[in-house]
């Protein structure tokens, strides 16, 4: 797999097919698949197992729970010489050992609730690889994974639209897609990473409510502007000072706050990003008019 500038080599002995909630997602073969012509940054060994491996738990660092019933989803723990990822999703139970440098992981996929082992590749991808990638990017100060819609505009370059769930990221992606299918990078998850001291935005497989763009060839783009979204009755963008936008960027950024070093790295990347790229607050109408408005918008630093 290839995400941003990070190559991940998955080794397994079972057939791989990407499915999401029983829906086959069509993915353009050149977007995310590692060609193995160079050494990978991360190697992940995956195996089907009847039981979880035994391990010594030193400390639980983070626990993700269902927001309503508080059922455990996944946890991040510290063991003896490894980090431990443990997923407790229904029919997607996994345990993974991750080296402290985040360059190697071993994953055990456990039997489904009915005792079968009919795992699909998407089951592994949906959470574990996302968590691993977040740690790797921040550990090496390469970049961030953000809750955002990303656009590679033919004239302006990379545009990043951030916001919490319900603010209109998928809506904007869908509107843009209907005008130019090849410009939408993702409607929910975008990698922001530095390459030769320039920030780029990269597509990912972690889509939101809209994913038709995944079948198109997706190209990274140098980031030219950041927008914080808000639905409105008119299209209106106003510049924001970097010092006033950090409080909006942090909630939209996936940060392993349980680790002091990684949190510091992430905060530094956020500050550098905001001091390098023009930032706007964008009120927008749920119509195609917003696409034309953004394409006509003059982008310059405040």
At 169 the pLDDT is: 95
The answer on pLDDT for 22 being more than 50 is no
pLDDT tens digits for range 199-241: 999 999 898 899 899 888 899 999 999 999 988 999 999 999 9
The answer on pLDDT for 23 being more than 60 is no
CA 8 to chain centre: 14
117 or 247, which is more confident: 247
The answer on pLDDT for 21 being more than 70 is no
pTM: 0.91
Between the alpha carbon of residue 259 and those of residues 98, 227, 256, 268, the distances in Å are: 15, 28, 6, 14
pLDDT tens digits for range 144-198: 999 999 999 999 999 999 988 889 999 999 999 999 889 999 999 999 999 999 9
At 67 the pLDDT is: 83
Residue 148 contacts residue 160 (beta carbons within 8 Å): yes
Between the alpha carbon of residue 172 and those of residues 169, 202, 227, 231, 291, the distances in Å are: 5, 17, 12, 10, 8
Span 5-28, average pLDDT: 66
Residue boundaries of the structural domains of the chain = 2-139, 143-296
At 17 the pLDDT is: 46
User: In 3D, which of 67, 280, 282, 294 has the Cα closest to residue 168?
Assistant: 282
Residue 200 contacts residue 193 (beta carbons within 8 Å): yes
The answer on pLDDT for 13 being more than 80 is no
Q: How confident is the model at residue 11 (pLDDT cuts 50, 70, 90)?
A: confident
The answer on pLDDT for 9 being more than 70 is yes
The answer on pLDDT for 18 being more than 50 is no
70 or 135, which is more confident: 135
The answer on pLDDT for 300 being more than 90 is no
Residue 213 contacts residue 150 (beta carbons within 8 Å): no
The answer on pLDDT for 123 being more than 80 is no
Please state which CATH class domain 143-296 belongs to.
Answer: alpha beta
The answer on pLDDT for 262 being more than 90 is yes
pLDDT tens digits for range 282-296: 999 999 999 999 999
């Amino acid at each position: 797999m290839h995400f941003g500038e990070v190559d991940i080599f998955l080794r397994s002995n079972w057939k791989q097919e990407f499915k999401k909630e029983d829906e086959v997602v069509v993915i353009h073969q050149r977007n995310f698949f590692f060609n193995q012509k160079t050494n990978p940054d991360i190697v992940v060994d995956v195996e089907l197992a009847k039981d979880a491996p035994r391990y010594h738990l030193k400390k639980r660092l983070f626990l993700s729970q269902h927001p309503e019933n508080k059922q455990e989803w996944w946890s991040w723990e510290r063991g003896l010489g490894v980090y431990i990822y443990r997923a407790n999703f229904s029919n997607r139970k996994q345990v993974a050992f991750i080296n402290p440098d985040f360059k190697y992981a071993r994953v055990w996929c456990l039997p489904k609730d009915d005792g079968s082992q009919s795992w699909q590749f998407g089951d592994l991808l949906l959470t574990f690889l996302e968590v691993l990638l977040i740690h790797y990017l921040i550990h090496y100060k390469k970049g961030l994974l953000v809750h955002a819609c990303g656009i590679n505009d033919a004239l302006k370059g990379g545009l990043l639209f951030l916001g919490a769930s319900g603010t209109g990221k998928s809506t904007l992606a869908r509107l843009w897609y209907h005008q130019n299918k090849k410009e939408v990078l993702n409607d929910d998850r975008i990698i922001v990473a530095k390459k030769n001291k320039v920030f780029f935005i990269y597509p990912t497989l972690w889509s939101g409510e809209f994913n038709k763009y995944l079948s198109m060839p997706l190209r990274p783009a140098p980031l030219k502007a950041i927008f914080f979204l808000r639905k409105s009755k008119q299209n209106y963008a106003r510049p924001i000072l970097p010092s006033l936008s950090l409080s909006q960027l942090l909630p939209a950024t996936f940060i392993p706050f349980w680790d002091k070093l990684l949190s510091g790295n992430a905060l530094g990347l956020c500050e550098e990003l905001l001091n390098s790229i023009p930032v706007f607050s964008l009120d927008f109408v749920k119509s195609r008019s917003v696409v034309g408005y953004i394409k006509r918008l003059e982008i310059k630093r405040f």
